[in-house]
Structure 1
Amino acid sequence: MTAPAASPSVPMYSRVGDLVFAGGHLPRRPDGTVPEDFADQIRLVLEKLGRTLEEAGSGLDRLVKVNVYLADIDRLPEFNAVYYEVLDGLPLPPRTSVEVARFRDASLLEVEAIARTNL
């Protein structure tokens, strides 16, 4: 399924002191399509989040809080399996996981985070 790309005028993060607040990341590719496989959606979201944090002077290894929004909370074990695989060996931050009513496209999750900068 294809969705409109995010507006380039909307930043994906803001910095306050030594903290980075990363906005919600959806599993949309640059062309607006969404992978059908849930595990692929999770990996894509975490890759995008990692790139955003790096751009902000941080990284997945500097996470201090993660919020996960799932279309189906019963899929949390699937999310956890990929999440722990991607963050293997990194400090695990506190996390909140909640079910939401729906997304506007085939997305099954959205992830936002707070991280410390490397500075």
Structure 2
Amino acid sequence: MAGEIDFIQTLDAAAPGGHYSQAVAYQGMLYVSGQLPIRADGCHRIGEPFEVQVTVALDNLMAILGAAGRRPSDLLKVTVYIAGIEHWPAFDRIYTRYLGDHRPARAVVPVPALHHGYLIEIEALAGGG
């Protein structure tokens, strides 16, 4: 394999709960693992409203981007898993606040359930490295 893999870790986002990294950078690309709405201090608040869960998950994503020297404008592809597609409009409003005019490729995937009973998980691919 040409080049080195850089493993990204920041205390400003939730620590991995399994055998994976928050993100890895390879050949200028950043691959961000799925971010659940777990707070950076590891606190689980599963019963929080959907809007709060979105904010926590996006805060984790932004912290990881920052730790890797990237900005939201470096996002190329975002995949969002939502338990209940009825939450899509609320997600889109909050997501727009975080990304402004930047419009990376995106998929919103309705799923029946997510780990721990959360309502959202966000993974991403970013360039700019």
- TM class, shorter-length: 0.7 to 0.9
Identity of aligned residues (%): 29
Q: More displaced, 33-42 or 15-24?
A: 33-42
In the other structure, the counterpart of 2:30 is 20
2:51 matches 1:39: yes
Query: CA separation in 1, counterparts of 2:117 and 2:73?
Result: 29
* 2:38 partner SS: coil
CA–CA separation in structure 2 for the residues paired with 1:19 and 1:31 = 27
Structure with the greater relative contact order (CA < 8 A, sep ≥ 6): 1 or 2? 1
Q: After TM superposition, what 4+ stretches of structure 1 lie above 6 angstroms from structure 2?
A: none
Task: Provide the C-alpha distance between the structure 2 equivalents of 1:104 and 1:8, rounded to a whole number of angstroms.
Answer: 12
In the alignment, structure 2 segments of 5+ residues that lack a partner are 1-14
Q: How does 1:1-119 map to 2 (within 5 A)?
A: 6-7=16-17, 10-29=20-39, 30-34=41-45, 36-89=48-101, 91-117=102-128, 119=129
Unaligned runs of 5+ in 1: none
Q: Aligned pairs, how many?
A: 113
**Offset of 1:8 from its aligned partner?**
7.5
- What is the TM-score with the length of structure 2 in the denominator? 0.79
